[in-house]
Amino acid sequence: MRANDAVLSLGVLASGSGTNLEAILGATRSGTIRARVAVVVCNVADAKALDRAREAGVPAVLVSHKAYGSREQFDAAVVEVLRAHGVECVVLAGFMRIVTSVLLSAFPLRVVNVHPSLLPAFPGVAAQAQALAYGARVSGCTVHFVDAGMDTGPIIAQEPVPVLASDDEPTLRARILAKEHELLPRVLGWIADGRVEVTPASDGGRARVVVSDAP
């Protein structure tokens, strides 16, 4: 549980346009969630997320993955930035790098990812295209804690969206993304309020997330 008056310091990692970052910034600004974005880290210089952070008056740091010899060295540099800004919870918001144990052990069960499918369906890249190729009629998005696997970490929340006969990859992507923009800030609000607890895996099972009721 977190102290009742604390504001959760988020570090947002992004590689792209940063629309999920924008949704998080909106929720922190409006006071919908008791959190603030302490720093935004991008691995590519032209990520629009960097501009969005600067416009919002949030420290925006470029850590180019090309400057590091290994994923672990890159992650160590990212961890250093996150720690320097007092980050308590890391959000992967369209971050197109596989994170290593260097990041995960620095923020155990405090790295949150949003994935554009209802896991365990359609893990990995191009989840929307996978759903269309499969002929799924329902897809959605998943917010989960990151573990060492690919999209295998304990699930915090999921929301469904319909897949329409007229959909192509961009239309399905947009529908799922709109749902991500609602779900991700909502989950971060739960974490900020100390309502999210993880029960460790037992006898071969999965770690489970328990979200307690709002006080």
Nearest 5°: the CA angle 20, 47, 145 is: 40
Q: Which two tokens stand for residue 157?
A: 């929340």
Percent helix, strand, coil in the chain (nearest 5)? 35, 25, 40
- Options 32-40, 45-53, 56-64, 115-123: segment touching a copy of itself (CB under 8 A): 115-123
Vertex 56 angle, CA 99 and 112, to 5°? 25
Judged by CB under 8 A, the chain residues 163 through 202 that form the site for a copy of itself are: 165
Q: Which amino acid is at 52?
A: R
Minimum Å gap between C-beta 44 and a copy of itself is 32
Residue of the chain from 136, 171, 173, 195 that contacts a copy of itself (CB under 8 A): 136
Minimum gap (Å) between residue 46 Cβ and a copy of itself: 35
| CA angle (173, 144, 45) in 5-degree steps | 60
Check residue 138 for interaction with a copy of itself (CB under 8 A): yes
Q: Minimum distance from CB of 169 to a copy of itself (Å)?
A: 15
For the chain, the C-alpha Rg in angstroms (whole number) is 17
d(CA 112, CA 145): 5
User: Distance between alpha carbon 50 and the CA centroid of its chain, in Å?
Assistant: 16
Binding of residue 215 to a copy of itself (CB under 8 A): no
Would you call 144 a catalytic residue per the annotation?
no
Does 7 engage in binding with a copy of itself (CB under 8 A)? no
User: What's the min distance (Å) between Cβ of 22 and a copy of itself?
Assistant: 24
| Contact positions vs a copy of itself (CB under 8 A) | 118-122, 133-138, 140, 142, 154-160, 165, 205-211
